[in-house]
Amino acid sequence: MNILTPEQLSKFELEGYLVIRDFFDPAADLDPIIEEYAGVLDRLADRLFATGEIKSTYEEEDFSERLIRICEDTGKIHAQSFDFSLPQRSIQADTPIWSGPAVFNLLRHPHLLDLMEQLIGGEIYSNPIQHARLKLPEARAVRDDQGEILQGATQWHQDNGVALPEADATDMITVWLPLWDAPIESGCLEVIPRSHRDGIVDHCPLGAAGFGIPDKLIEKQQAVSLPMERGDVLLLHRRTCHSSLPNLSNRVRWSFDLRYNPTDQPSGRDAFPGFVARSRTHPETELHDPAAWATSWLQARAKLSGDAEAQKFNRWDGNREVCA
């Protein structure tokens, strides 16, 4: 089933990005995820209250306000408790991860896989470089010892840049979607159209924001902001330069970024478990069991725990001349 028109395909190939409006049914496709995450937040609040780290479980508050207050009380962002991937460093036996069935069902959503099939063919791998992003309003953000906001606006980067070099030729597609509306004031994404044609750009260490492309290498005057609503999706080429704006709203900005590539190409982070989401030639290889997916992440965590050498997922060292 073709999802994209010839005009949309041409725009994606030319510009390196494409917004598709009303792709998901918010109630049917996104609300089950929100409900599942409400349980994650319940358990986090109960644990932190039991250990005296928060003043209250704040159960009377809505999800956004409750998370903000928990982060304010603890001085931590707790992002990893909601993520469905492991971090790039310091993985321990008890590093939190959430790999619930509602998230798995979204990764295998038939409409989404139909879209991927149109772009990369019928052998589709769910790439494990994937994340849940819950970004606090900057006015109430958690800061590090230097006063820098933790998990604030995302610096300019390419998704190819967060994968290891072995995946440079992998036809990786990013699917970015908001769980709640993402207007400009809440920190929507921005892109540099046609930047995917310029190859991989050097990334440098940028403090609390991690690694990103220095501003001097970005034609910021070309940037296009992409406000989106629940149900919309954004497609990104692996080398499209993009970032997010600061969250200047009074609410958490909540989004997922998912990635897919052909099954016979490297994921760029093979220590993490992806899976065959669709195979037209070998359907018996598809993963349909959310429990098996969750187990694969727990096994990866156990294997990587405390092994700093195995956790070298960053291709950049900050020693390039442009980083000086």
Model pLDDT for residues 116-131, shown as the tens digit of each residue: 999 999 999 999 999 9
CA nearest to 219, candidates 193, 258, 247 = 193
pLDDT of amino acid 205: 87
Is residue 142 helix, strand or coil? coil
Instruction: Look at residue 208 in the predicted model and tell me its pLDDT.
Output: 66
Handedness of CA 100, 104, 109, 112 (dihedral sign): positive
Phi, psi of 190 (to 5 degrees): -135, 150
182, β-bridge pairs: 228
The two beta strands, 173-178 and 233-237, are antiparallel
Q: Per DSSP, what are the bridge partners of residue 276? A: 125
d(CA 21, CA 142): 33
Contact 176, 257 (CB under 8 A): yes
Task: Give DSSP secondary structure letters for 84-96.
Answer: SS--SS---TT--
Residue 188 has pLDDT above 80, yes or no: yes
Mean pLDDT, to the nearest integer, of 281-308? 96
Does 1 have pLDDT greater than 80? no
Whether 209 has a pLDDT exceeding 70, the answer reads no
What is the average pLDDT across 75-97?
A: 95
Domains of the chain: 6-323 (2.60.120.620)
241 with 195: CB under 8 angstroms?
A: yes
Q: What is the pLDDT of residues 61-81, one digit of tens each?
A: 999 999 999 999 999 999 999
Are the CB atoms for 202 and 24 separated by under 8 Å?
no
Using a 10 angstrom Cβ sphere, with 0-12 exposed, 13-18 middle and 19 or more buried, the burial of residue 265 is middle
pLDDT tens, position by position, 18-46: 999 999 999 999 999 999 999 999 999 99
Entry pTM = 0.96
101, exposed or middle or buried, with CB in 10 Å at 0-12, 13-18, 19+?
middle
Helix H segments across 77-139? 101-107, 110-120
